[in-house]
């Protein structure tokens, strides 16, 4: 019996989504967005020199086929990523009509999203009055602050003092299908914030809002900082996922990072959290050594997206990619004969693009443990089918929508 590791590099897209023209950032279609290629090009041109220097260096994932996957997905060249692939490599396209975290992860786990997500499109007075009243009642306050589209770091700078003075929760959204609540861990209370999110989540989920997110912070005026105690309350997937298939077969499942929240903690035996991606990498390396035979480890590394993509910080994103590649080398050394490790992503977030939203892109599919294989253009659901096939899992007949990479012949 062998093990499987599914590792999502949050937002590390590689361009070329066939329907990118239907998705927008500040009125600009996502056609031409390419997170990885554009970062590599900026590095090669000396435009990503903050905390690092020179061409993008990702030798570990490039040896698996990262540069080749970029060329396959979009026809673009990512300078510095030109190794001859020594792993299995391809590019995956999504069919769910969203470029968000739940859509990408659910489809990678075998469940495309069958509905259109709900959104709050108005930049100011974003929420309907009845929802504002409901949230205030659940919070035990006379109102809410915010009620707008906002950056999470900016809004606590702008409204943190008023929040402490009034006790009202700070509620905001974005172009994503989210309802976010920021509150001070000490004056409002962390558990009170989490309970507020639990209480309102069913109503938001009924509106097909994908996530209610608790965004706790600490500090005082001019020095407010968000804490690691974020919690996502996600709508449940409409069908059993790869995690459920594995768990129901009596196998052990490990979730690293946001995976527990994204999948509403269904099908998860062990949850491994941390204050940052460095902690999560330590968990991944440890589980590479310790995870049980026949187990599935599903990991999300979010800081590419949360710290650098949305903030359009090319240097920061490049530093994170190079750091992750070094961690991936440590992890790959722990694999046993017969193990399968797949590195992929859930969407793009091109830091050179217009706006601050995710970008609609294909994503890399890089596998260690399948020999040298050109996988070609595949679907997100093929990832789930491949992991299930590797673990010998029985997939419900109604969900057999993907094709396993295991059927591809080595090259």
Which candidate, 252, 258, 316, 244, places its Cα nearest to that of 105?
Answer: 258
Cα–Cα distances (Å) from 87 to 71, 333, 375, in that order, read 16, 14, 10
* 133 marked ligand binding residue: no
* 347 marked ligand binding residue: yes
* 310 marked ligand binding residue: yes
Output the 3-class SS for the chain: CCCEEEEEECCCCCCCCCCHHHCEECCEECCCCCHHHHHHHHHHCCCCCCCCCCCCCCHHHHHHCHHHHHHHHHCCCCCCCCCCCCCEEEEEECCCCCCCHHHHHHHHCCCCCCCCCCCCCCCECCCCHHHHHHHHHHHCCCCCEEEEECCHHHHHHHHHHHHHHHCCCEEEECCCCEEEEEEEHHHHHHHHHHHHHHHHHHHHHHCCCCEEEEEEEECCCCCCEECCCCEEEECCCCCCCHHHHHHHCCCCEEEECCHHHHCCCCCCCEEECCCCHHHHHHHHHHHHHHCCCCCEEEEEECHHHHHHHCCCCHHHHHHHHHHHHHHHHHHHCCCCCCCEEEEECCCECCCCCCCCCCECCCEEEEEECCCCEEEEEEEHHHHHHHHHHHHCCCCCHHHCCCCCHHHCCCC
**8 A C-beta contact, residue 11 and residue 347:** yes
* 358 marked ligand binding residue: yes
**8 A C-beta contact, residue 360 and residue 393:** no
CB atoms within 10 A of CB 250: 7
**Within a 13 Å sphere around the CA of 316, how many CA atoms are in the beta-carbon half?**
15
* 357 marked ligand binding residue: no
* 305 marked ligand binding residue: yes
End-to-end CA distance of the chain: 25
Instruction: Enumerate the known binding-site residues for Mn(2+).
Output: 10, 305, 310, 346-347, 358
Instruction: Enumerate the known binding-site residues.
Output: 10, 305, 310, 346-347, 358
């Amino acid at each position: 019996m062998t093990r499987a590791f599914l590792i999502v590099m949050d937002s590390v897209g590689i361009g070329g989504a066939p329907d990118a023209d239907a998705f927008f950032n500040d009125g600009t279609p996502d056609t031409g967005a390419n997170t990885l290629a554009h970062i590599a090009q900026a590095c090669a041109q000396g435009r990503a020199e903050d905390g690092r220097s020179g061409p993008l260096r990702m030798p570990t994932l490039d040896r698996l086929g990262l540069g080749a996957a970029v060329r396959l997905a979009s026809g673009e060249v990512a300078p510095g990523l030109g190794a001859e692939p020594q792993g299995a490599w391809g590019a995956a396209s999504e069919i769910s009509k969203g470029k968000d975290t739940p859509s990408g992860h659910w489809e990678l786990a075998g469940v495309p999203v069958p509905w259109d997500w709900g959104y709050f499109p108005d930049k100011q007075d974003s929420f309907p009055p009845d929802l504002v009243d409901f949230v205030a009642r659940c919070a035990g306050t006379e109102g809410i602050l915010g009620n707008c589209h906002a950056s999470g770091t900016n809004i606590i700078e702008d409204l943190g003092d008023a929040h402490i003075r009034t006790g009202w929760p700070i509620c905001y959204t974005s172009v994503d299908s989210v309802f976010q609540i920021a509150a001070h861990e000490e004056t409002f209370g962390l558990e009170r914030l989490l309970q507020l999110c639990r209480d309102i989540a069913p109503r938001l989920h009924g509106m097909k809002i994908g996530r209610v997110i608790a965004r706790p912070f600490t500090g005082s005026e001019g020095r407010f900082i968000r804490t690691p105690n974020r919690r996502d309350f996600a709508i449940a997937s409409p069908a059993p996922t790869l995690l459920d298939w594995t768990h129901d077969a009596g196998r052990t499942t490990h979730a690293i990072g946001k995976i527990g929240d994204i999948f509403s903690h269904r099908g998860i035996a062990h949850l491994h959290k941390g204050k940052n991606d460095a902690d999560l990498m330590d968990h991944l390396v440890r589980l590479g050594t310790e995870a049980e035979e026949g187990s599935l480890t599903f990991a999300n590394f979010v800081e590419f997206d949360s710290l650098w993509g949305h903030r359009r910080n090319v240097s920061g994103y490049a530093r994170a990619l190079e750091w992750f590649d070094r961690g991936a080398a440590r992890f790959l050394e722990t694999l046993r004969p017969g193990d399968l490790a797949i590195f992929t992503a859930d969407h793009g977030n091109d830091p050179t693009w217009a706006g601050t939203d995710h970008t609609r892109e294909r994503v890399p599919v890089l596998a260690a443990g399948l020999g040298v294989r050109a996988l070609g253009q595949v679907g997100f659901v093929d990832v789930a089918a491949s992991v299930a096939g590797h673990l010998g899992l029985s997939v419900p007949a109604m969900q057999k929508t993907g094709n396993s990479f295991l059927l591809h012949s080595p090259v």
